[in-house]
Structure 1
């Protein structure tokens, strides 16, 4: 039985270790994987020869897991411009001053006139919130943004994202293996929503939520706290446990502590179905009718120059 367990655990650990090395050493994959193969060969020899296979496997597991868990998230990498800053906020009663609010104007999907601004918002002026989903391929996978509307100011949109270095691309696999830090971006809709709907040509939907102004205020402040926390102490992005959907779910638990886990936290394209089940999507009709009304991509692409983007995309 112990022998069978050994030969089951060894390939499982080998698969994990090989993937971790592949992700963490993109410029030196051959030597890293070669060293792993040699180490595993030694463990196999110890098992078949002297009989110290378990000892060899334990040493290998301790060394590689010790290296992996010693990796710490950082603030000082050479970041891609669109995630180079994380929003932070100062709360003084009902007034919140946000720093590092992104206000890029995108020329195409990869190029923008870059600008970072400050915003001062009055929490008593929040009138509601919208969930925005953006799909670029598999309809079961969507990026999630939350936009807060004010009676006296343009909306502020929050987006939980991977914090890429220059030249890096998103990798779901890398997101499991500490390739990316977690970023919270605050932006105006002319930037972050227009970018996804127009130059990136994604399928973007805007769902008004049934949050009361007081509930929207609580979630807004949770986003501010998250941004401040990430500025103080960086965290790893994780494809499974710390992504755009799971973070929003965690923030929303301030409103409903017993909010249940659901497969839509992984298949984020199904999140509207999950929220509609709990009455969180505003409007009349079936979910299919709400999905149809929520689609804003075509409207965004048809907007004439000079129009107010936030007003234009809303019916």
Structure 2
């Protein structure tokens, strides 16, 4: 009995901590005295309820306290699952617009393709474009990892190449409001909606390598034309779903890496789950083990040759349209027609 009470007490403490974080991340903009009182009462009730389970001398209070705690937890969960995602917020400039695609056979028109000119992370010239693509000209896809928090966590992008030399990169990102900044913990607690950005590489890659000084690696994916087409259209379908039905970003289950995995499973349904889907900094190694990267090289060689930062910074002295070509110099498999 004592062990059972201890386990329940630990569950109550974990649930209480989760509830405190949920309240903290959902109420900060309205944190009046009432909000602080709600958080304080919830935390105190959970702590006292757990205390009565750990100490047998408090048995006479246990039933009523646990009843009050259960009722409060139920109300908290009802509130939590009824928090609606929204497109109607004061969005930051770089996520202000949603990608919209018009598909007519092989002809694709994309509205709201991002092509900002980033001088620093906070100094930029915004620019949103309408672009036209032909699926028959789709010739390549590259996996790009940008490391912003140590060797185990990276932001994952996929960039598609066309035989006219153009590149288009897709990225699932948090859709932060103007006053917000990224929080990995907040990403577990519905602080952000999610958005799929389609962007010029000069924008979405250069801002990471040059403006933010993140370590960026580029790997050529080995995909046939039908697989390229499926993956490209998969991004457009996912973007359209988000455009019509807003959804929350989740740091674990719905992020920049899981979308690549989910779309890849449309091509190869047997793809296995792996810890490297969570530790996204190792996602390229996962892709290599599955045979999705250039096979004539070791993974270590691909990683070394795919490090683009030095070339990306050198590109600042070159013409803007050369960025995609310059960062691919020496990258195995990336000397295809789409890098003139």
Residues 145-160 of structure 1: matches in 2 within 5 Å? 145-160=157-172
Residues 116-195 of structure 1: matches in 2 within 5 Å? 116-195=128-207
Correspondence 1:10 to 2:23? no
Q: Compute the displacement of 1:204 (Å).
A: 0.8
Q: Secondary structure at the match of 1:117?
A: strand
Distance 1:283 1:189, change over 3 A: farther
Correspondence 1:95 to 2:104? no
Cα distance in 2 for partners of 1:292, 1:107 equals 27
Q: Compute the displacement of 1:202 (Å).
A: 1.2
TM score, norm. by length of structure 2: 0.88
Query: Which residue of 1 is the match for residue 269 of structure 2?
Result: 257
Correspondence 1:273 to 2:276? no
Q: Compute the displacement of 1:153 (Å).
A: 4.6
Distance 1:49 1:226, change over 3 A: same
Query: Which residue of 1 is the match for residue 25 of structure 2?
Result: 23
Cα distance in 2 for partners of 1:153, 1:161 equals 26
Cα distance in 2 for partners of 1:224, 1:98 equals 9
Q: Compute the displacement of 1:26 (Å).
A: 1.9
Query: Which residue of 2 is the match for residue 220 of structure 1?
Result: 232
Query: Which residue of 1 is the match for residue 256 of structure 2?
Result: 244
Cα distance in 1 for partners of 2:40, 2:300 equals 52
Is 1:130–1:209's contact at 8 Å kept on the other side of the alignment? yes
Is 2:115–2:128's contact at 8 Å kept on the other side of the alignment? yes
Query: Which residue of 1 is the match for residue 40 of structure 2?
Result: 37
Query: Which residue of 1 is the match for residue 63 of structure 2?
Result: 51
Distance 1:237 1:50, change over 3 A: closer
Please give the per-residue CA displacement for 1:30-72, whole angstroms capped at 9, x wherever unaligned.
7534324335656748974383233212211111111111101
The size of the alignment, in residue pairs, is 315
Give structure 2 stretches of 5+ with no counterpart.
Answer: 53-58, 330-340
Correspondence 1:310 to 2:313? no
Is 2:20–2:43's contact at 8 Å kept on the other side of the alignment? no
Q: Secondary structure at the match of 2:87?
A: coil
Cα distance in 2 for partners of 1:135, 1:269 equals 7
Q: Secondary structure at the match of 2:179?
A: coil
Is 1:21–1:29's contact at 8 Å kept on the other side of the alignment? no
Distance 1:291 1:50, change over 3 A: closer
Give structure 1 stretches of 5+ with no counterpart.
Answer: none
Cα distance in 2 for partners of 1:40, 1:293 equals 51
Q: Secondary structure at the match of 1:98?
A: strand
**Residue from 73, 84, 87 that aligns with 2:85:** 73
Q: Secondary structure at the match of 1:90?
A: strand
Q: Secondary structure at the match of 1:270?
A: helix
Cα distance in 1 for partners of 2:205, 2:132 equals 20
Cα distance in 1 for partners of 2:198, 2:242 equals 13
Cα distance in 1 for partners of 2:62, 2:273 equals 49
TM score, norm. by length of structure 1: 0.94
Q: Secondary structure at the match of 1:229?
A: helix
Q: Secondary structure at the match of 2:267?
A: coil
Moved more, 19-28 or 60-69: 19-28
C-alpha RMSD of the superposition: 1.9
